[in-house]
Amino acid sequence: MSLLVVGSVALDSLETPFGRREEVLGGSASYFSTCASFFGPTRVVAVVGEDFPEEHLAFLSSRGADLAGLVRQPGRTFRWKGRYDFDLNTAQTLDTQLNVLATFKPALPAAWRDTEFVFLGNIDPDLQQSVLDQVGKPRFVACDTMNFWIDSKRASLLETLKRVDLLFVNDAEARQLAGEHNVIKAAKTILGFGPRAVVVKRGEYGALFFSGSEVFAASAYPLLDVFDPTGAGDSFAGGFMGYVARCGRMEPDVLRRAIVVGSVVASFAVEQFSLDRLRTLTAAEIRARYAEARQLAHFDDLEPDLFAPGR
């Protein structure tokens, strides 16, 4: 399999009702590659500054990220500061410093131009397109975004959407992008922008998948301990894309399981700050929680003689 991500590698400062952390490892490409590489090596296209700790790079490659497309440039690393109030579903951005991301021009190693599966992580949509320009004929392209880009780069984002197979968004982003309150209608509107499928992530309420007339709902794994929701979306996408790339096909049965795999992987990511829970996560734990999720969603058919006569 060949799977590539372009996204941010960041130093995050986070406040949740359970505590705070300063300048910890974050970024869409970090979460994505750590989760996707449970299923195979993941190519990372990203930029960091001179101040980015070497130990974070060592960690990412120890988990299976191929960092041949990650460059270190003069200047400071991208920084994001976010806060979650008691409703852990919505992040409040306190500060975004693009730093080296502002001038980043992604350049794919020549050997990566044949990549089959591509994930355009949450990053400037111009950069997302420049990566797509450099891959020959990908079999499947998925994309993520956030309110920051929907606000500031809407026209460019709509260009990206014409070129992707699947968009991952959370419900607030779906509403904002479509200009439509109802999430189902918003998803239909987004399908009209170009992607063949849309996954709407709804935090603790699970995820909805839309493609053509097909809808699939997966509930989130009911967690007792949500510590830091940062990276849930990228972890979801990492589990999803890693699994799809590993299967090597995009039929509905694979995509359905991929949504559950994504939810399960994301459920681990939020149990501790930053990528900390992912540092110790094992394939056996993912498999066990997938089995629990399956059990949770299972119900039998109704009895044939259930209803009163004549009804």
Interacting residue ranges for ligand AMP, rule: CB under 6 A: 8, 10, 12, 26-28, 31, 80, 96, 122-123, 146, 148, 230-234
List the structure tokens of 235: 């972890």
User: Residue 148 or 193: which CB sits closer to ligand AMP?
Assistant: 148
Which of 96, 214, 237, 101 is closest to 164 using CA atoms? 237
Give CA–CA dist 69/44, Å, rounded: 6
The minimum distance between CB 130 and ligand AMP, in angstroms, equals 15
The minimum distance between CB 283 and ligand AMP, in angstroms, equals 21
Element (H, E) at 159: helix 154-161
User: Residue 169 or 178: which CB sits closer to ligand AMP?
Assistant: 169
The minimum distance between CB 301 and ligand AMP, in angstroms, equals 37
User: Residue 90 or 282: which CB sits closer to ligand AMP?
Assistant: 90
In the block, residue with structure tokens 């014409």: 162
The minimum distance between CB 166 and ligand AMP, in angstroms, equals 16
Residue number with the smallest Cβ distance to ligand AMP:
26
Give CA–CA dist 62/56, Å, rounded: 10
The minimum distance between CB 212 and ligand AMP, in angstroms, equals 26
Residue 160 identity:
T
User: Residue 123 or 199: which CB sits closer to ligand AMP?
Assistant: 123
The minimum distance between CB 311 and ligand AMP, in angstroms, equals 47
User: Residue 19 or 252: which CB sits closer to ligand AMP?
Assistant: 19
The minimum distance between CB 191 and ligand AMP, in angstroms, equals 21
Torsions phi, psi for 185 (to 5 deg): -65, -40
> DSSP H helical segments within the chain, as ranges?
28-36, 54-62, 125-134, 147-152, 154-161, 171-178, 183-191, 232-247, 252-269, 276-280, 283-297
User: Residue 152 or 282: which CB sits closer to ligand AMP?
Assistant: 152
User: Residue 230 or 267: which CB sits closer to ligand AMP?
Assistant: 230
Distance spanning both ends of the chain, measured CA to CA: 53
Confirm if 92 and 84 have CB atoms less than 8 A apart: yes
Element (H, E) at 197: strand 197-201
Which of 96, 105, 238, 264 is closest to 168 using CA atoms? 238
